[in-house]
Structure 1
Amino acid sequence: MHLTWLDGVLIAAYFVFSLGIALYYYRRAGKDTSEFFLSGRSMPWWLAGTSMVATTFAADTPLAVSELVAYNGIAGNWLWWNFALGGVLTVFFFARLWRRSGVLTDVEFVELRYSGPAAAWLRGIKAVYFGLLMNVIIIGWVSLAMETVIDVLFPGLTLFGRASFTLLGIEMSASLVLVGLLVLLVGVYSLISGLWGVAVTDLFQFVLAMVGTTLLAIFALDLPEVGGLAGLKARLPETTFRMLPTIGEAAQGAG
């Protein structure tokens, strides 16, 4: 697969628009730490909610959800649909209490909730565990997913005329190097724009992703090999379209 000039223009426009959002919120994010980390505690609920949802849509999400549906049907989505319950509890029961506490980060709440040196140690351990160890694992698997997507879409990709690079004795493919450059780019616009810039960029990416996936679904269903929604249903077992998961022997039989 080769990129056309139109593909290049669209990709360039995407990055220019994203960086434009970051630059727009640059001065606002630099006012103080509350503005940078908490958007001055003035972000509207719909933008914060959309940003939270968009954050879950990483490169691995389409691959993981496709696998869930392929093996378990639509009901397999309950593995992540159940998160909605926690979100509802957070919004209607905990959000006001969290706001009233006045904390800047979730680890700060630990030291507020408890007391003494033990609370400070717990805050530090929690910060290292979530901020360093867990984030490294998450970024690692998301980067691997993005590398896989790039390899499938652009087989034989070269970067700066090279198919692979060696760094500190480790050989890396051009697609992995490209992912690393993209991670650096995201880090830069996050650092200069603060939470406002990140949330607005999430909104832009969410709308783009929803429009793109909807159009892709329409085009895929129109393929002669699929034959529309009726053709898709005719080619798949009935269990694929069940909305509720089965339990016990029925579940094993469906699998």
Structure 2
Amino acid sequence: MELHVLDIAIFIAYVALLISIAWWISRRGHQGPRDTQDYFLANKALPWWAIGASLIASNISAEQIIGMSGSGYALGLAIASYEWMAALTLLLVGKFLLPIFLKNQIYTMPQYLQQRYDNRVKTIMAVFWLAVYVFVNLTAVLWLGGLAINTVTGIDWLIGMVFLATFSVAYSLYGGLKAVAYTDIIQVVLLVFGGLLLSYLALDAVSGGNGALKGFITLSAELPGHFDMILSKDNPQYINLPGISVLVGGMWIMNISYWGFNQYIIQRALAAKSLAEAQKGIAFAAYLKLLMPLIVVLPGIAAVMLFPNLDAPDQAYPSMISLMPVGLKGLVFAALVAAIVSSLASMTNSVSTIFTMDIYKHLRPHQTQTHYVRTGRLVSLSALLTALLVAQPLLGQFDQAFQYIQEFTGFFTPGIVVIFLIGMFWKNASSNGALSAALGSAAFSIALRVWWPELPFVDRVGLVFLLCLGLAVGVSLLFKGATQDESIDISHVSFSTGRSFNVATVGCIIILIALYATWW
């Protein structure tokens, strides 16, 4: 499949427009050299709509669009639990976690760990997150993005990866988080419009041109197993999504870790004008998450009927783009690239924030603000170059990259969640207890992976969380050690939320109940 000249023109116009707007936003209202608050936290002035849009643009990338569509092709609607449970998780983060972070006025997640525990915990977790962002997240986004460009245009995947990295640098490196967050509004509009249009055309094609509703009915009738939200034990994909555990087990741990303690996600909320504004943005993002399966999972299911003989599930979404007419194909391709580059920009900005503020500034504490901003830009470039070099060797052999990412990060997320939750809500938690949870998470996960391989990884995450929690509590009580707690006492933190946030939460719960009741 190749793009028509009109499609290419539309795509080039999109690239030029986005870069121009990003540079205009970066320079608008700005005088003199940038400081770290301006570059890394958009001067703490983001409105709710920019926060919500940027949260989704940062989250929805190649690993979601390509990877989750591939999982939709392989196992069906059940993969949507990652999206729908995330909506509720976002609201919990907005109510219980975000007030603590904003009260402590932090730049990064490692900075909070230093305030609550000590420099050892901060440094270990900072190095861990840098490694994961570069060698898992950035590599996955670049690799899947390169494959998508190759499938849609025929351009070599390596050239596609280089283009994505260059595009990301062109619009985000100068302006930092402010440029990323405000241009994400354009990205999300394009992503949602293009995704919904592709889903409509996919369903219409399934019905033979008789409309999307008829197509959905046909799809449900022809592929009933692909519309089971709760998989039974005899389902061959049970190992990936183990039944009721997706509602009450380890998926909660993974979602809380991702949406609550993941720097490149939570950084948008940390840059809000106020707590109320951040909570509105999170509620907006939650409702966008409810919509995402229609955009990223449904096309993958439709591809089972339209392209039944794909070599790999991750080819489903790029193949579906061939359904688009000339002109709109370029628009949907632009939406796909928009999702990819927005995540790349967000990840590299967060890598530079953590490295600069948590590691480099500690080693060289008396440099100018301009020096730290320049360092952050160099780190962003270095992270992208590293990811370009290692992407194919690390991910080239996997058919479902989304599942690989979830399983790999599942080794560490239980310990991360334990470290933060006991640090926030249990005053006796110690640095030694936090370190034991971090080390125990990897050790327990690897041991269970080796000695109990048939245990679904979602269940393993839940079990390791309980083991790490017990270990951290035990070590904290027996070997308290030195803990320098400079964080805000939560008795001074208000967890009350406004009426609009509360109404949004109730509405989200009702929608989720209806969805799971329909496709139980």
Alignment of 1:234 with 2:218, yes or no, is yes
1:79 to 82, 101, 107: 82
Higher mean C-alpha deviation, range 70-79 or range 96-105: 70-79
Q: Deviations over 1:110-163 (max 9, x none)?
A: 11111xxxx2122222222112343322111211111211221123x3xxxxxx
CA contact (8 A) 1:76 1:245 kept: no
User: Residue in 2 aligned with 1:245?
Assistant: 230
Describe the shift of the 1:128–1:34 C-alpha distance in structure 2 as closer, same or farther (beyond 3 A): same
CA contact (8 A) 1:239 1:254 kept: no
User: Residue in 2 aligned with 1:214?
Assistant: 196
User: Residue in 2 aligned with 1:184?
Assistant: 166
Percent identity, aligned pairs only, is: 26
Query: Once the 2 structures are TM-superposed, how far is the Cα of residue 77 of structure 1 from its aligned partner?
Result: 0.9
1:93 and 1:177 mapped to 2: Cα distance? 44
Describe the shift of the 1:65–1:226 C-alpha distance in structure 2 as closer, same or farther (beyond 3 A): farther
Q: How many residues were matched structurally?
A: 232
1:136 and 1:218 mapped to 2: Cα distance? 35
1:201 to 183, 202, 206: 183
Query: Once the 2 structures are TM-superposed, how far is the Cα of residue 237 of structure 1 from its aligned partner?
Result: 3.0
2:8 and 2:231 mapped to 1: Cα distance? 46
Query: Once the 2 structures are TM-superposed, how far is the Cα of residue 65 of structure 1 from its aligned partner?
Result: 2.2
Question: Residue type of the partner of 1:233?
Answer: I
1:90 and 1:142 mapped to 2: Cα distance? 25
Alignment of 1:94 with 2:79, yes or no, is no
User: Residue in 2 aligned with 1:135?
Assistant: 134
Alignment of 1:48 with 2:32, yes or no, is no
User: Residue in 1 aligned with 2:5?
Assistant: 5
Describe the shift of the 1:71–1:177 C-alpha distance in structure 2 as closer, same or farther (beyond 3 A): closer
User: Residue in 2 aligned with 1:153?
Assistant: 152
Question: Residue type of the partner of 1:140?
Answer: T
Q: How do 1:160-171 and structure 2 match up within 5 A?
A: none
Describe the shift of the 1:182–1:63 C-alpha distance in structure 2 as closer, same or farther (beyond 3 A): closer
Query: Once the 2 structures are TM-superposed, how far is the Cα of residue 38 of structure 1 from its aligned partner?
Result: 1.1
Higher relative contact order, chain-length normalized (CA < 8 Å, sep 6+): 1
Describe the shift of the 1:68–1:21 C-alpha distance in structure 2 as closer, same or farther (beyond 3 A): same
CA contact (8 A) 2:111 2:122 kept: yes
Query: Once the 2 structures are TM-superposed, how far is the Cα of residue 247 of structure 1 from its aligned partner?
Result: 4.2
Name stretches of at least 5 consecutive residues in structure 1 with no aligned partner: 158-173
Query: Once the 2 structures are TM-superposed, how far is the Cα of residue 21 of structure 1 from its aligned partner?
Result: 2.3
2:157 and 2:238 mapped to 1: Cα distance? 38
1:180 and 1:112 mapped to 2: Cα distance? 39
User: Residue in 2 aligned with 1:164?
Assistant: none
Query: Once the 2 structures are TM-superposed, how far is the Cα of residue 211 of structure 1 from its aligned partner?
Result: 0.6
Query: Hey, which bits of structure 1, 4+ residues long, moved more than 6 A?
Result: none
Q: How do 1:3-82 and structure 2 match up within 5 A?
A: 3-27=3-27, 28=30, 30-82=33-85
- Secondary structure of 1:125 counterpart: helix
- Secondary structure of 1:89 counterpart: helix
Describe the shift of the 1:197–1:53 C-alpha distance in structure 2 as closer, same or farther (beyond 3 A): same
1:43 and 1:131 mapped to 2: Cα distance? 25
Query: Once the 2 structures are TM-superposed, how far is the Cα of residue 205 of structure 1 from its aligned partner?
Result: 0.9
1:102 and 1:233 mapped to 2: Cα distance? 51
Question: Residue type of the partner of 1:51?
Answer: S
2:238 and 2:39 mapped to 1: Cα distance? 49
- Secondary structure of 1:104 counterpart: coil
Describe the shift of the 1:194–1:8 C-alpha distance in structure 2 as closer, same or farther (beyond 3 A): same
CA contact (8 A) 1:226 1:232 kept: no
CA contact (8 A) 1:75 1:245 kept: yes
Query: Once the 2 structures are TM-superposed, how far is the Cα of residue 82 of structure 1 from its aligned partner?
Result: 1.9
1:210 and 1:177 mapped to 2: Cα distance? 27
